[in-house]
Amino acid sequence: MKLSDICKHINKECKSDIEIKNLATLKEAKKDSLSFFHNSKYINDLKTTKAGAVILKEEDAPLLPKEAVAIISQNPYEDMAKVTSLFKYTPSEKTYNPTLKEGARVANSANFGKNVVIGKNSLIMAGCYIGDNVEIGDNTIIYPNVVIYHNCKIGNNCTIHSGTIIGSDGFGFAQTIKFYQIGNVVVEDNVEIGANCTIDRAALGSTTIKKGAKLDNLIQIGHNCEIGEYSIIVSQVGLSGSTILGKGVIMGGQSATAGHLKIGDRAIIAARGGVTKSLEGDKTYGGFPAVEIRLWRKMQAALMRLVKRK
């Protein structure tokens, strides 16, 4: 779309007539991308973005590279939400035959959107739905009743257990205005995902499960999260949107994170730990809010002594 037409849709002034081919995060944007800025945590991405245009507040405009067009807004998130309605994906309602590579097998009751590719020796079992433009790698097993939404990518040697949903919408609203989730989910090689997990597609860009990660049952991963290589996520963990886990992170059962934070390589979060801020790697944390485990144990001991005095 022409940038001028997009600006008319959100009632904003724009003198530029460049063509916008996609919406993207500041970090991933290219010269034909439109992005937005509303969170100071991404100020460095704003300063270096290659986006053709950015929706942002007037006071932030001086930080934008001079090559980019500034679209001034009092509420950039809300205006970007309105723009996403112009780029939302409309899935097909028909069932198509997938492209099957050598040795691939699919159950008769599995259903497929258009342009689906199933890799060599992969197996799609009964009751699965694989949406438009999904690519599934070689030697991957998808157990019954798994749903993979449009545009997602699954790597080689993966296992996805029954009832899991990959690519459903992340929870994105600007007040009551829906922020259409137009990204996807990318699952890299050698990943195992347990039963009844939900992995939300990205608002912009990709939610990524990196190679070798292992996910237990009943896990919620929010939009734009990144699960690091060889991480281990135990049952009933919940990750809020834009959480980034480094390599080899271990999260115990029922632990959780707030959004837009990073957990460093090889960090361990004890069961029921609540992560409210970014944490360094190579340390073990526990409690809510999560602190280093030794400090948490001292706090629990001190609390017990205080209670016993009464």
Specify the DSSP element, H or E, that contains 48: helix 43-48
Question: 3-state DSSP call for residue 251?
Answer: strand
User: Which tokens in the block code for residue 278?
Assistant: 């970014």
Tell me: the pLDDT tens digits for 75-132? 999 999 999 999 999 988 899 999 999 999 999 999 999 999 999 999 999 999 999 9
Tell me the mean pLDDT in the region 25-32. 94
Range of the domain at 77: 3-87
pTM of the model: 0.93
Q: pLDDT confidence of 310, banded at 50, 70, 90?
A: low
Tell me: the pLDDT tens digits for 49-77? 999 999 999 999 999 999 999 999 999 99
Tell me: the pLDDT tens digits for 195-226? 999 999 999 999 999 999 999 999 999 999 99
Residues 139 and 275 in one domain: yes
pLDDT of 175 over the 90 cut = no
Percent over 70 (pLDDT), the chain: 100
pLDDT of 308 over the 90 cut = no
What mean pLDDT value characterizes the chain? 96
pLDDT at site 4: 93
For the chain, the domain total comes to 2
Task: Point out the residues that are catalytic.
Answer: 223
* Residue 36: CATH number of its domain: 3.40.1390.10
Residues 133 and 21 in one domain: no
Beta bridge partners of 275: 257
Instruction: Please answer whether residues 128 and 110 qualify as being in contact, where contact means their C-beta atoms are separated by less than 8 angstroms.
Output: yes
Separation between Cα atoms, residue 278 and residue 260, nearest integer Å: 9
* Residue 265: CATH number of its domain: 2.160.10.10
Q: Within 10 A of 176 (CB to CB), how many other CB atoms are there?
A: 6
Residues 118 and 260 in one domain: yes
Residues 78 and 189 in one domain: no
Q: pLDDT confidence of 13, banded at 50, 70, 90?
A: confident
Provide the edge-to-edge strand list for the sheet that holds 33-36: 22-23, 33-36, 53-56, 69-72
pLDDT at site 17: 86
Instruction: Please answer whether residues 273 and 288 qualify as being in contact, where contact means their C-beta atoms are separated by less than 8 angstroms.
Output: yes
